[in-house]
Amino acid sequence: MDLTLKIWRQAGPEAKGEMKTYPISGVEDDMSFLEMLDYLNEQLIDQGVEPVVFDHDCREGICGMCSLFINGEAHGPGRKITTCQLHMREFKNGDTIYIEPFRAKAFPIVKDLMVDRSAFDRIQRAGGFISVNTSGNTIDANAIPVPKENADKAFDAATCIGCGACVATCKNSSAMLFASAKISQFSLLPQGQPEAKERVLSMVNQMDLEGFGNCTNTGACEVECPKGISLENIARMNRDYLLASLSSNK
């Protein structure tokens, strides 16, 4: 397959970026999208050109590191897949493919296609955990009954891999889908209750401090989320936030 790649190149966070054109031949149908970029980079290195910087790690849809905007869609065409799970058979000979970084004020560009998503880590650190009694008297988690429906919803929320596609897709660069998933995975379980109010207030506050936009219910985040995280989580987070605000002294 012969393709034309239009790739965003940017030397550093403050540098002016631009789209550059790279023709590429010999792309195989069964290459993953990231393997195709590896293949391009080998050729660029042979030509003495600096390779394209992009994020990746597990390459099997688990870690959330890959983060490309491909032909105007986070993680490219296809639903419920990450960029590393996208294969070149989705494209055809002669195609032009536009490859850009995830764009959001809270995700500054590091270089080329790599962005800094540490804002997500700071939201998580603000309350995305439970404090566990390690005195030796800890109650076995399996000894606490959890309604099946809640267990399933909590598990679904916990499948968020923190990739940031929701933010990149949202016209407001909102992180509500991510934050609501990270809050819901605890708020639906008995173990998450003791710190529930503090958690939702603190994580939403951190989300706002990081410069993410608000949610205006377009639902684009849910469509592009590789893990199918439901908008239902945002509704739950808003409800929990309101109730926690009304009873908070802060």
Which residues contact ligand SF4 (rule: CB under 6 A)? 160-166, 177-178, 181, 225-227, 229
- 235 counts as binding ligand FES under rule CB under 6 A: no
Among 36, 37, 66, 170, binds ligand FES (CB under 6 A): 66
- 63 counts as binding ligand FES under rule CB under 6 A: yes
| Between 5 and 204, CB nearer to ligand SF4 | 204
Q: Strand 68-70 to strand 73-74: parallel, antiparallel, or no bridges (unpaired)?
A: antiparallel
**181 touches, from ligand SF4, ligand FES, none (C-beta below 5 to 8 Å by class):** ligand SF4
CB 4 within 8 A of CB 71: no
Region binding ligand FES by CB under 6 A among candidate stretches 14-22, 78-86, 208-216, 242-250? 78-86
How far is 154 from 182, CA to CA, in rounded Å? 9
Collapse the DSSP code of 213 into the 3-class scheme (helix H, G, I; strand E, B; otherwise coil) and give the result. Answer: strand
How far is the CA of 9 from the CAs of 19, 51, 67, 113, 218, in angstroms? 6, 10, 15, 7, 30
Count of helix runs (H) and strand runs (E) in the chain? 8, 7
- 65 counts as binding ligand FES under rule CB under 6 A: yes
- With a CB cutoff of 8 Å and minimum separation 6, the contacts of 146 are 154, 189, 190
We find the least distance from the C-beta atom of residue 164 to ligand SF4, in angstroms, to be 5
We find the least distance from the C-beta atom of residue 60 to ligand FES, in angstroms, to be 6
How far is the CA of 237 from the CAs of 3, 88, 161, 182, in angstroms? 44, 38, 18, 10
Among 8, 10, 52, 56, binds ligand FES (CB under 6 A): 56
What does the DSSP 8-state code read for residue 97?
A: E
| Between 212 and 241, CB nearer to ligand SF4 | 212
We find the least distance from the C-beta atom of residue 76 to ligand FES, in angstroms, to be 12
| Phi, psi of 70, rounded to the nearest 5 degrees | -115, 120
**206 touches, from ligand FES, ligand SF4, none (C-beta below 5 to 8 Å by class):** none
- 58 counts as binding ligand FES under rule CB under 6 A: yes
| Between 97 and 196, CB nearer to ligand FES | 97
Where would I find the H helices in 14-117? 33-46
Question: How many residues lie near ligand FES (CB under 6 A)?
Answer: 13
**Site residues, ligand FES (CB under 6 A):** 56-59, 61-66, 82-84
